[in-house]
């Protein structure tokens, strides 16, 4: 019997290392993702997709900066929403084409997704996530004063804005997503971690922050009751002692083992840490299977012979 699987599409799905990230490149790269997902659907599984949007948001912020003298600026939250639609279209188009080749007629829909965050989250006191273009010192100081931005100095490249990365609390459009899943649609949701929102009834401004996409994906997978949560990235399996002589690939980890390795520093914040943390969030909430793998091994991993799995502790 088929499973409900949430697949978190990695940033390398649309823009590969060394590429400029043109629209044509993104359409071409989406084919691999689409083919892998369509194979899952053809195997009888139901699929929900989430995706990253870092490069696309960066490009949109650069555009709004360059066009500021001629058009209104787009705040970060609007850029997140816009790229959800942009990337959703690219993936929908690729999947529609792939399904036609396989003789499938499964509707695909992208949903603009808001995610509730806590205004008192400590992350708002210490912004750390760089966004947008680099600036000169004079530009950075002007924008800091004009927009109340937090600016950091990258000694080798210039000055850059940083924003907060709060913890996701609730998927606002959860019931809409669930309704689509129950009707048999493939849903793309939670793009870029979702558009962060406060429940403060203040319509004058949005929340200019970014949410970790894998953390949002884990919460969405658990709230939907997905039996499997897959993070697709650029490696087939997670490694211990990464880039050391003792490096070794992992097939399976229990939740307790994953926590112990995380505590020991095996999965750094700037590398595999957020992904493993997201897997632990999902498994602790849903007690399903969480997998990290790449697109080449997606089908094998779902069917039990690839990727790295995090599973519930056997005695709980």
- Residues with a catalytic annotation lie at 11-12, 129, 213, 275
Distance in angstroms (rounded) separating the CA atoms of residues 144 and 154: 15
Q: Are the C-beta atoms of 203 and 121 separated by less than 8 Å? A: no
Q: How far apart are the first and last CA of the chain?
A: 25
Tokens of 312: 């519930």
Q: In b/e form, how buried is each residue of 89-115, taking b as 16+ CB within 10 angstroms?
A: ebbbebbbebbeeeeeebebebbbbbb
Q: Angle formed by the axes of helices 76-102 and 54-66, to 10°?
A: 130
Handedness of CA 226, 229, 232, 236 (dihedral sign): negative
Separation between Cα atoms, residue 98 and residue 92, nearest integer Å: 10
Spatial CA neighbour of 190 closest among 170, 163, 161: 170
Enclosing H/E stretch for 131: strand 129-135
**Cβ count near 9 (within 10 Å):** 26
Round the CA-based radius of gyration of the chain to a whole number and report it.
20
């Amino acid at each position: 019997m088929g499973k409900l699987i949430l697949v978190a599409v990695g940033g390398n799905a649309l823009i590969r290392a060394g590429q400029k990230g043109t629209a044509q490149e993104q359409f071409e790269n989406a084919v691999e993702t689409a083919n892998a997902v369509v194979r899952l659907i053809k195997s009888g599984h139901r699929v929900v997709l989430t995706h990253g949007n870092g490069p696309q948001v960066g490009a949109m912020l650069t555009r709004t900066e360059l066009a500021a003298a001629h058009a209104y600026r787009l705040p970060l939250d609007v850029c997140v929403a816009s790229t959800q639609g942009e990337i959703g279209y690219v993936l929908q188009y690729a999947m529609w084409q792939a399904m036609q080749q396989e003789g499938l007629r499964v509707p695909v829909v992208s949903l603009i997704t808001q995610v509730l965050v806590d205004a008192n989250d400590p992350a708002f006191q210490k912004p750390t996530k760089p966004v947008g273009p680099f600036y000169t010192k004079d530009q950075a100081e002007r924008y800091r004063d004009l927009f109340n931005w937090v600016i950091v100095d990258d000694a080798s490249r210039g000055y850059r804005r940083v924003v907060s990365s709060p913890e996701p609390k609730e998927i606002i459009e959860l019931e809409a997503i669930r309704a689509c899943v129950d009707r048999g649609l493939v849903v793309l949701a939670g793009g870029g971690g979702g558009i962060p929102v406060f429940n403060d009834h203040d319509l004058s401004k949005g929340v200019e922050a970014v949410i970790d996409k894998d953390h949002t994906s884990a919460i969405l997978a658990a709230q939907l009751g997905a039996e499997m949560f897959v993070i697709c990235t650029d490696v087939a399996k997670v490694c211990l002692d990464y880039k050391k002589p003792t490096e070794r690939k992992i097939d399976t980890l229990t939740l307790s083992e994953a926590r112990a390795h995380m505590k020991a520093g095996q999965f750094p914040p700037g590398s595999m840490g957020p992904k493993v943390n997201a897997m632990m969030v999902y498994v602790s909430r849903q007690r399903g299977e969480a997998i990290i793998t790449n697109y080449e091994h997606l089908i094998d991993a779902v069917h039990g012979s690839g990727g790295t799995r995090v599973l519930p502790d056997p005695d709980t």
